Amino acid sequence: MAHSIAVNVPARQEIEAADGVVKQLKEYQSKNWAIGLNGDNLAPDNFLAFFTERQLPFAYYVRAQGVSVGEPSAYQINIDTLNHYVALIRSSEGIAVHGAITQLNHYKANNWAIGLNGSTLQPDDFLPFFDTRGVAFAYYVRSGGVELGTPAAYDNNIRALQQYLDNL
């Protein structure tokens, strides 16, 4: 039984990759080139690989070497699939980021440490969340002799996350 492995790729990077494939699909459509299978040797192509890696449905269009698979509408079907995929990524990121903002506001209301756990001084969950998204993080810690940042860190982090979402 195959197990799917979720790869934690930054959303912005995945959106850019999907947008690049959309551009390629439009180029292939303008030339009526095969998609899904290479027109020269009928080997699976990069379009098929991209969709398969993401477990997205793929529509083939091949008119080569006596093989006729799919219809010209396959280009647009695949473009629509990728646009929907990107919308899902943006939605999922919106939910995750709003959750982090809610958490930051809760920490702010309680004047709790962010960046390092106030009790153990070990890195907290905010750090990988910000790092995965390439968003700069501001620490605020007042614990165990450690003093990092200022209370403005809460609002600075919230603003940074909102800008990240706006630019997605």
For the entire predicted model, the pTM comes to 0.82
What string of pLDDT tens digits covers the 168 residues of the chain?
344 444 457 899 999 999 999 999 999 999 999 999 998 999 999 999 999 999 999 999 999 989 999 999 999 999 999 999 999 999 999 999 999 999 999 999 999 999 999 899 999 999 999 999 999 999 999 988 889 999 999 999 999 999 999 998
pLDDT at 2: 41
**CA 108 to CA 79: how far, in whole Å?**
43
Structure tokens at 54: 């993401």
